[in-house]
Amino acid sequence: MIGQFQAYINRYNLLAEGEKVVLALSGGIDSMVLADLLLKTKVQFVAAHCNFHLRGDESDGDEKFVNDFFEKNDIQCFVKHFETEKFAKEQGLSIEMAARELRYAWFEELRQQLGYNKIAVAHHADDQAETFFINLLRGAGLRGLKGMLPQNGVVIRPLLWASRELIHQYAIENQIVWREDHTNAESVYLRNKIRNQLLPVFDELHPEARQGLYKSLEHLSAENELYRELLKEKLAQLVKSDGETQSLPHTSHLIPHTSFQLVFEWLRQYNFNTDQCRFIFDAMETGIGNKYYSPTHQLVIGRNELQLSEIKPVADEEFQIEAGEEEIVSPIHLRFSKFGKTANFVLDKSSQVAQLDFDKLKFPLTLRHWRHGDRFHPLGMKGSKLLSDFFVDQKFTEQQKSSVWLLTSSAGDIVWVVGWRIDDRFKVTNATKNIFVYQMV
């Protein structure tokens, strides 16, 4: 297996001589086998272990196991603790996605701090097969069905060629110890259902079923690369640029069977989603003058072409408000007041007024326009929401998006989408002692 491991690394140029690696290490069989192979092939690496605190004592046991193993082998091991459930709730993410975001962000931070070259993760061929079926069920195209790449930026997957069975056999033969995660046997998440229920049935269909699937995934990956190159050439021929506007000829000028795919592949680069592309394609003959928006671009259906232009961001102006100020007149006219909460206090529900818990505010406050990726907790809602999604819910026009002001705390939290909605975290509650009022004039 060592020879196959080294050959795979060489085949995809995953590691150049002397490059240093941050190994993502859970303590499970896959990452422990990868650690053993890196040791035996003399790759310089450190281990990075995440404690997500999702399995109680088991999570702490994993951490101790990893620390003890690498201390014994004189390899540096870094450990990071995360409040995963809290982060997932705040960001409106599933536990799986929250853990993924947290770990990859930390791995990259650690890699840069150490000045290392790559991050190695222990995904293997069966992970690839599971990912294929997940994406298949979600309606993915070739990009999704091709699965994971041996290398994605600085992230490398040196075990992507190896099956779970081969990894297990190697671990037994080489007396490698590992930690079992009991949740892998639970068919709660979709990936586990595919692993524990679908793939065993798949194996029953044909003795070489998985090997055939692995080969198909390799072919899909290679064909995707070719498709991307040919697509790039085709779009370069068709798309015209006139200053700040790009244009793609109308569907009647394209090959009928490929026209939607071309429109889709062109527009997805500019943050249009699949449903939008379908609406645009269906409206191309009859919706002349219709406008569609992604977070970054505007598309107009012309008589003979689709016209695409970038949405110019509003100047990123910021205006600070100190705790003692009573009024500002620019960029918008606001008056401020502070008072102690009394028993006869009545909440003003006007969207032109923001009544906030003063003791939760961190000054100075800032007035600014929205930025892509902004999140807040709309009043009355549990968890966070992308501001762009809030705009969609409120049926904002592009002009409204560009002109709306946000009041933010010095910690960066959105306190008030001015004239629309306050953030639930700053609302007046029974525990509030002091109230700060912002009123639009």
Instruction: Tell me the HSE value of 288 on the side-chain side, using a 13 A CA sphere.
Output: 8
Mean pLDDT of 174-193: 75
Q: Which residue has the higher pLDDT, 30 or 97?
A: 30
Q: What is the pLDDT of residue 188?
A: 57
At 275, list the tokens: 């449903």
Q: What is the pLDDT of residue 49?
A: 93
Q: What is the pLDDT of residue 255?
A: 53
Average confidence score pLDDT of the chain: 87
313 CB-near residues (< 8 Å, 6+ apart)? none
pTM over 0.95: no
Quickly list DSSP for 69-122: HHHHTT--EEEEE--HHHHHHHHT--HHHHHHHHHHHHHHHHHHHHT--EEE--
pLDDT digits (tens, 9 = 90+) for 276-311: 888 888 888 788 888 888 878 888 888 888 999 887
440 has which bridge partners? 334
Q: What is the pLDDT of residue 271?
A: 87
Which domains does the chain show, CATH number per domain? 2-217 (3.40.50.620), 240-310 (no CATH), 318-440 (3.50.40.10)
Q: What is the pLDDT of residue 183?
A: 59
pLDDT digits (tens, 9 = 90+) for 107-124: 999 999 999 999 999 999
For the chain, percent of residues with pLDDT exceeding 70? 95
pLDDT digits (tens, 9 = 90+) for 43-66: 999 999 999 988 878 888 888 998
CB of 341 closer than 8 Å to CB of 434: yes
For the chain, first and last CA: distance in Å? 73
Lowest mean pLDDT among 185-194, 271-280, 302-311: 185-194
Mean pLDDT of 88-109: 87
